[in-house]
A = this chain, B = another copy of it.
Amino acid sequence: MSLDNVLARIDADLPAATERLLDLLRIPSISTDPAYKKECEAAADWLVKDLNSIGVPAEKRVTPGHPMVVGHINGDGPHVLFYGHYDVQPVDPLDLWDAAPFEPALEETAGGMVIRGRGSSDDKGQLMTFVEACRAWKAEYGTLPCKITFFFEGEEESGSPSLVPFMQENAAELKSDIALICDTGLFQSKTPAIITTLRGLLGEEITIHAADKDLHSGMFGGVAQNPIRVLSKIIAGLHDETGRVTVKDFYDGVPDLTPEVAAQWDALNFDHAAFLGDVNLSAPAGEQDHTPLEMIWARPTCEVNGIIGGYTGKGFKTVLPAQASAKLSFRLVGTQDPLKIRENFRAYVQSMLPEDCTVDFTSHGASGGSSMSTAHPAFEQARGALSEEWPDAAAFAGCGGSIPIAGHFKEILGTEAMLIGFAKDDDQIHSPNEKYDLESFHKGIRSWARILDAMTRK
């Protein structure tokens, strides 16, 4: 059988594929730091060259930030777009790395062989699983299985400022039948997962002002407003006793789980004790009338991501500060309206201000939740293909995080996105000692070969 030949070639080519990935990992393409602009260019050049080597005409495309890499190859069957990103997170604190982050290497660990280095899991290693599947396919058949658009960006770790304008300007070129995204993980590091719901994200920063300068808490304490106290009261009032968010109309548009999805998730046997135990927690802290998996995948949240005010150095200073700030984020689901929630949140904050206090608001983005329609035949084809590759049957899963690109494909291009990835929970993405299991890389490549086969089989 021909797929078997492709899989056998993938197995045989794994050492060479790993060397190619190590080569890409050596390029410190940190997108958020302007000092690494040239290195981002170099990573884009590397990818152009690599796509060319499998017969895909590709080029760097200029943006106001780091370049996109876009390549098209014609073929029979459906038109598939594959998205990944070649930029990586900064590496500090550098002293917590056991080896230099951009001198990647294969390492034997208790959990098996891993590819260690910044970007190995997020996202260079995952991106290359698809490219390597294509390479094996091409080597076996001389062509790729269908019409494919490769679309790589270099700003994902710095907020993707150029992505939406680029997609809008090149909408006709980027339209496809389905978009494949490889930037997620295995469910509980084990079960292959196709992500079908993502939470949206509303970011807000508030700064409470009182006196026009820092005051001495002896001279003014008792008679002057303290913005830290005002801010604390605002934050404390955002949840009721049961853990529900108190912002007006917050739950408008939050759907109940369909019995079908509830049954699917139930079948996943989520081990929340292990999930929380890994970070030294034990009790699910959200709305108590929902399961832990629902708390993460299906319920909206309001969290404080940062707070600062007054003296925060060593020792003590008896200051009544002039201001205090907090960064808050709301994870949104279903059809919750981020702009309406922002408006109601801000009205709540205003309503909590005592005399002599004012507030400044800063917006840090607003995107709604998204859910993928599994009606597209690719979803069932991919689920079947993944189930053949991995010991566990593949699952339709949710994701508590926010991956705006999925929404952009739908909104800008009208294309459904299918998110499949092979990262594990302990890959330490965004942290020191990032790694990608060699098994994830190997079975990831094989998975894409199977998925392409399932999608194009006649």
B301 touches A306 (CB 8 A): no
In the complex formed, the residue of B with least CB distance to A204 is B316
8 Å CB interface, A292-322 against B: 292, 295-296, 299, 301, 303-312, 315-321
Q: Chain B interface: which of A49-57, A171-179, A255-263, A274-282?
A: A274-282
In the complex formed, the residue of B with least CB distance to A326 is B228
Could you say which residues of chain B place their CB within 8 Å of the CB of A276?
Answer: 223-224
Q: Does A213 contact B (CB under 8 A)?
A: yes
Give the distance to chain B from A278, nearest Cβ to Cβ, in Å: 9
Q: Does A38 contact B (CB under 8 A)?
A: no
The answer for the CA separation of A137 and B15 in the assembled complex, in Å, is 95
Q: Does A365 contact B (CB under 8 A)?
A: yes
A315 touches B223 (CB 8 A): no
Binding site for B on A (CB under 8 A): 159, 199, 201, 203, 205, 210-213, 215-226, 228-229, 231-233, 235-239, 272, 275-276, 279-287, 292, 295-296, 299, 301, 303-312, 315-321, 324-327, 329, 331, 354-356, 364-365, 399-402, 430
Q: A282-B356, A285-B356, A316-B329 are in contact. Are A217 and B305 (CB under 8 A)?
A: yes
Q: A236-B233, A316-B205 are in contact. Are A306 and B296 (CB under 8 A)?
A: no
Q: A203-B316, A306-B309 are in contact. Are A295 and B222 (CB under 8 A)?
A: yes
The answer for the CA separation of A401 and B318 in the assembled complex, in Å, is 10
The answer for the CA separation of A281 and B295 in the assembled complex, in Å, is 43
In the complex formed, the residue of B with least CB distance to A322 is B279
Query: Which interface residue of A220, A222, A231, A283 has the most chain B CB atoms within 10 A?
Result: A222
In the complex formed, the residue of B with least CB distance to A317 is B305
Q: A216-B401, A218-B399, A305-B316 are in contact. Are A223 and B272 (CB under 8 A)?
A: yes
B309 touches A307 (CB 8 A): yes
Could you say which residues of chain B place their CB within 8 Å of the CB of A237?
Answer: 236
Could you say which residues of chain B place their CB within 8 Å of the CB of A282?
Answer: 355-356
B329 touches A285 (CB 8 A): no
Q: A222-B299, A228-B307, A320-B303 are in contact. Are A217 and B331 (CB under 8 A)?
A: yes
The answer for the CA separation of A237 and B319 in the assembled complex, in Å, is 21
Could you say which residues of chain B place their CB within 8 Å of the CB of A299?
Answer: 222
A283 touches B318 (CB 8 A): no
A329 touches B324 (CB 8 A): no
The answer for the CA separation of A275 and B210 in the assembled complex, in Å, is 15
B329 touches A217 (CB 8 A): yes
Could you say which residues of chain B place their CB within 8 Å of the CB of A281?
Answer: 210-211, 224-225, 356
